Homo-oligomer: A and B are copies of this chain.
Amino acid sequence: MLSKSAEYALRATIYIALKGSEDNKLGIDEIATAIDSPQYFTAKILQLLTKNNGVVSSVRGPNGGFYLTDAARKLPVRAVLEAVGEDGIITKCVLGLKECSESRPCPMHEQYRYIKAQLRQMFEKTSIQDLANESGKGKIVINNRQIKTK
């Protein structure tokens, strides 16, 4: 469905939105641990997210780390996908034809168009903050570990 890069990008962004703020910046080690992702690889992905679309903000040095601005929180989830170059899921043909259009549809186009429209809706109408809010709720998780029963 999505690439590993995109998956980590989404999980990392959600985690930063949930736990981070301008005066509580999060380190890469904390983030990678929290979302069960390979640390160095995640660092690369966060670099993309800071460079593209201004999804994530960062500062170096002591007390540095990653956080999201208020503006970034309002961005659609699609912005995250775009930042890692993975929005093909809502633009391309299911059968891999070079173009997906009404004028030159593949045999699945008619059926897939509705699903694609819903995928687009989901990624465009949902904001990063929306996901963070969702994530704050009881049983919602962004990693593979056992739920803490404490």
In this complex, which of A107, A134, A147 has the most chain B Cβ atoms within 10 angstroms of its Cβ?
A107
CB pair B96 A4 closer than 8 Å: yes
Interface string of A106-150 (1 = CB under 8 A from B): 111111101100110010001000011011000111111001000
Contact residues on A (Cβ < 8 Å of other chain), bracket: 35 or more
Residue A79 at the chain B interface, CB threshold 8 Å: no
| Alpha-carbon distance A56/B90, docked complex (angstroms) | 30
Chain B residues within 8 Å of A78, by CB: none
CB < 8 Å neighbour of A141 from B104, B118, B122, B142: B104
A144 and chain B: residue at smallest CB distance:
B98
Interface residues in A8-25 by Cβ distance below 8 A to B read: 8, 10-11, 14
* CB proximity of A102 to chain B, nearest CB, Å: 9
Residues of B within 8 A of A88 (CB): 1
Contacting pair A122 B115 (CB below 8 A): yes
| Extra contacts besides A10-B94, A77-B108, A107-B140 (15): CB < 8 Å | A1-B88, A2-B96, A7-B94, A7-B95, A10-B108, A14-B107, A97-B141, A97-B143, A97-B144, A105-B139, A106-B140, A106-B141, A106-B142, A107-B131, A108-B122
Q: List 21 A-B contacts (CB under 8 A).
A: A1-B88, A1-B94, A4-B96, A7-B94, A10-B95, A98-B144, A99-B144, A103-B139, A104-B141, A105-B139, A105-B140, A105-B141, A107-B131, A107-B135, A107-B142, A110-B134, A111-B126, A112-B122, A115-B115, A115-B122, A118-B118
